[in-house]
Chain A
């Protein structure tokens, strides 16, 4: 197998091809689709999904799964806005993100202690905290929409990096909050590829017992993973708020399937040990493209759930099938033993 075919047989390659094919098909139906404006629009629409997805990729690489991140994102974002509205001076926009990330990190710590400290199964813990954090938000913090967001949030939301019109005169623009995605991408890429902590995450995903035997502090590493994922969720929540220019406590929860679909389409395996930043970003773009173009094509939103569900099954099943076929071909190639 040469490098090119290996690239296309890899999960990222398959996702890339799938995305391009999908774009071509939509472009064939609607020629206006294939334009720079569409790409810009796509980037804007995938911002929140992509930020969440980078965090979830870290969890999957360690062999776990997290479904509580949307609740963490909503809790951190809404609580931050409630706090800020209670004080009497202008809080700089960067501080909003920092506070939200800090709240997210402390909620992530709850997950981390339950999973890394007590060794409970990740799916059960995060299913529990998903409900717990959401319930706590609605019970103790508030249920009303906050629409009177501070002025600097509005001006931040209006600041665009790129602004352009597409063929039919609709406006496509990329807001300044794109830098949050860039920052999180750089952070996760450095953690996963350049630090021992990141490599330990992959090691734990590959063989938890093996990691423990060579002296990796498995529990401590897991706690830190969930803290980081919590902080990233806080940033994603705040990004979502600046895009919609209001704080809605009912938002975000419900996104978890989209995000997990993006991550597994991007090549992370549910069984752990695999996952890349590039693949995850591609996965997030693909999922967003499918969702938005289905919407613009007039497909009822219920159908999107069907498509996303199917994609999760394909995304997790495809690597396994590719693997099995490769093994079989390899076996058959050795005609005589």
Chain B
């Protein structure tokens, strides 16, 4: 085999006392697609940042085509390594052509801005990829999939030989993933090497030739993609056998739905949604990023107003104009990103738990609240010495429990959770699922919005599939398997 284009050896990195990477090594050859697989917190992102020179390493070497790289973003770019971040790092205010040409112009130290040659470079690169996008459009007007293609084009325009992609298919439909696959196949033949960073099993096997698995900052296994199967990959990533089977439960008693929608529509976001949730039932709403799943959930909670259709709550038609009205009616919403939307990180755990159940009288019964916060910590098994430390000191799983505790304090009749276990390690995930099952047992209706199909299957009684704003499928969780569910989630929008 020829010499590797990228060779990483003995990388060590620690942030203060926390060891993030220990003795990490990997190689990448021209025309190879390698997957860097690992759970959240396994050190993947830190490794990318070290490769691209954004973060200094404590020890070890990064070599591109035999040349050792210094800690400088410009050096990595000039050596032909481009990172496509999850947010793509494009300039929304500039045109497609300028975005594509910018990296090359910076790398080549161009002084003058030549609109014509930028346009030509963009056209050539897009043509090489077989993509048809108007180069004079501002990037902010483009859909996500096009933005990703432009990020790839930008790397190619600068003659990138190594392209690192961070979770590339998070927002793509099946045909967009297919197209990406086609483009990557073609570029591989040109000798471009790819490093895919991912934790999604399907994605890894669809794209990659070789796999490196990272766990707790160490390489635990690597080899050809054919040496792995989903079970081994999952085991290597998590360090234990994953239980994918459904959580045991008693049959839900049939009850009248607590919430139902008829023809709920928000133009351009979701349309004609009929759904119902009964007390003591867990319903999963699965869909890709951008399918309208979050907007639908927020509409049920009164934060986004639907244009048409009705929401029925406990048998009467209700129109929640703001979350407060929905909360008063007995609905709770646990947001997608608990760190930015849900928690006051610097505040004590106790205050975070009791903040949503403050009385409208404006008078605070401090000792009563503390007592209840302590009980909640005990009940949800939050690992903390007390309720005084700030939430920031907790792990992801425990932070999520604080959010749950806060809403459970209000004894909601309908609990909507958006991505309840994103960024939570697998053990905590299981425990959070068990907490939700306890809620179900006590007669609460639970709506879980998620793109984690395994979670939907393990947790829910019923699964609703959302594709481009429409509910396209409904399954009871024991009649469908992950493969079929995955097919239906990534399905194209039905013909109009």
Question: Is the CB–CB distance between B469 and A337 below 8 Å?
Answer: yes
Q: Cβ of A78 < 8 Å from any Cβ of B?
A: no
Contact A207/B89 with A195-B113, A212-B73 known, Cβ cut-off 8 Å: yes
Interface residues of B (CB under 8 A from A): 52, 54, 73-74, 77, 83, 85, 89-94, 98, 102-103, 105-107, 110-113, 154, 266-271, 292, 307, 468-470, 493, 496
Known: A207-B89, A213-B52. 10 other contacts (CB 8 A): A194-B113, A197-B111, A206-B94, A213-B85, A213-B89, A214-B73, A273-B92, A331-B268, A333-B267, A337-B470
**Any B CB within 8 A of the CB of A73:** no
Report how far A330 CA is from B141 CA in the complex, Å: 11
Q: How many A-B residue pairs have CB under 8 A?
A: 90
CB-based nearest A residue for B93: A273
Q: Is A23 an interface residue (CB 8 A)?
A: no
Taking a contact as CB atoms under 8 Å apart, the answer to whether A337 and B268 are in contact is yes
The CA-CA distance from A212 to B73 in the complex, in Å, is 8
Is A214 in contact with B102, judged by CB distance below 8 angstroms?
yes
A203 with B268: CB separation less than 8 A: no
Chosen A-B contacts, 5 in total, with CB atoms closer than 8 Å, are A199-B98, A199-B105, A199-B113, A202-B91, A215-B73
Indicate with 1 or 0, residue by residue over A299-334, a CB within 8 angstroms of chain B CB atoms. 000000000000000000000000000000011111
Contact with B along A196-233 (1 / 0, CB 8 A): 11111011011101111111100000000000000000
* Docked pose: A202 CA to B77 CA in angstroms: 21
**Shortest Cβ distance from A100 into chain B, in angstroms?**
28
Does A166 sit at the interface, judged by CB under 8 A? no
Distance A274 CA – B140 CA, assembled complex (angstroms): 13
In the complex where A196-B105, A203-B91, A273-B92 touch, is A213 in contact with B468 (Cβ < 8 A)? Answer: no
- How many angstroms between the C-alpha atoms of A2 and B107 in the bound complex? 37
CB distance from A158 to the nearest CB of B (A): 40
Complex formed: what's the CA distance from A197 to B110 in Å?
Answer: 9
Q: Is the CB of B112 within 8 A of A207?
A: no
Taken together as a complex, chains A and B put the C-alpha atoms of A216 and B73 apart, in Å, by: 10
Chain B residues contacting A199 (CB-CB under 8 Å) are: 94, 98, 102, 105, 113
**A196 touching B267, Cβ below 8 Å:** no
Asked if residues B91 and A195 are in contact (CB atoms below 8 Å), the reply is no
Interface residues of A, count at CB 8 A: 31
Q: With contacts A195-B112, A196-B105, A196-B113 known, is A207 near B54, CB below 8 A? A: no
CA distance A200 to B110 in the complex (A): 11
* A209 in contact with B89 (CB, 8 Å): yes
Q: Is A168 interfacial (CB-CB < 8 Å)? A: no
The closest CB in chain A to the CB of B83 belongs to A213
Query: CB of A335 within 8 A of chain B?
Result: yes
Given A215-B103, A216-B106, A331-B267: A196 touches B73 (CB 8 Å cut-off):
no
Q: Is the CB of B112 within 8 A of A274?
A: no
User: Given contacts A194-B112, A215-B73, are A335 and B267 in contact (CB under 8 A)?
Assistant: yes
Q: Which 6 residue pairs are nearest across A and B when measured between Cβ atoms?
A: A273-B93, A331-B268, A206-B91, A210-B89, A337-B469, A206-B93
Given contacts A273-B91, A332-B307, contact A193 B469 (CB under 8 A): no
In the complex, what residues of B have CB within 8 A of residue A215's CB?
73-74, 77, 103, 106-107
Chain B, residue nearest A273 (CB)? B93
Residue contact A198 to B113, C-beta cutoff 8 Å: yes
Query: Would you call the interface of chain B mostly helix, strand, loop, or mixed?
Result: loop
Q: Which residues of A contact B (CB under 8 A)?
A: 193-200, 202-203, 205-207, 209-216, 273-274, 330-337
**Which residues from chain A contact B269 at a C-beta distance below 8 Å?**
331, 337
User: Cβ of A205: which chain B residues have Cβ within 8 Å of it?
Assistant: 93
**Interchain CB contact under 8 A, B268 and A334:** yes
Contact partners of A213 in chain B: CB under 8 A: 52, 54, 73, 83, 85, 89
Specify which of A195, A203, A336, A337 is in contact with B111 (CB 8 Å cutoff).
A195
User: Smallest CB-CB separation from B91: which chain A residue?
Assistant: A206
Q: Is A207 within 8 A of B90, CB to CB?
A: yes
- Residues on A with beta carbons closer than 8 Å to the beta carbon of B85: 213
Chain B residues near A274 (CB-CB < 8 A): 93
Contact between chains at B496 and A336 (CB < 8 Å): yes
Instruction: Given A199-B113, A213-B85, answer yes or no on A337-B93 (Cβ-Cβ < 8 Å).
Output: no
CB distance from A256 to the nearest CB of B (A): 25
**Please, how many angstroms separate the alpha-carbon atoms of A211 and B74 in the complex?**
12
Contacts of B470 in A (CB 8 A): 337
Partner of A196, one of B52, B91, B111, B266: B111
> Once the chains bind, are B91 and A210 in contact (CB under 8 Å)?
yes
Q: How far apart are A188's CB and chain B's nearest CB, in angstroms?
A: 14
Q: How far is the CA of A229 from the CA of B459 in the complex (A)?
A: 60
Cβ of B83: which chain A residues have Cβ within 8 Å of it? 213
Q: What chain B residues lie within 8 Å of A273 (beta carbons)?
A: 91-93
* A207 CA to B90 CA, complexed, in Å: 7
A196 touches B77 (CB 8 A): no
Residue of A nearest to B108 (CB): A196
Q: Which residue of A lies closest to B114 (CB)?
A: A194
Chain B residue at smallest Cβ distance from A199: B113
Quick one: which of B52, B54, B106 has the most chain A CB within 10 A? B106
- What is the chain B residue whose CB lies nearest that of A335? B267
Determine if B77 and A214 form an interchain contact, defined as CB atoms under 8 angstroms apart.
Answer: yes
Asked, given contacts A202-B94, A207-B90, A330-B268, whether A214 binds B113 with beta carbons under 8 Å apart, the answer is no
Whether the Cβ atoms of B268 and A214 lie closer than 8 Å is: no
Q: Give A335 to B267 CA distance when docked, in angstroms.
A: 6
B156 CB, nearest partner CB in chain A, Å: 14
CB distance from B247 to the nearest CB of A (A): 34
- A335 surroundings in chain B (CB, below 8 A): 267
- Identify the closest chain A residue to B85 (Cβ): A213
Q: Chain A contacts of B103 at CB under 8 A? A: 214-215
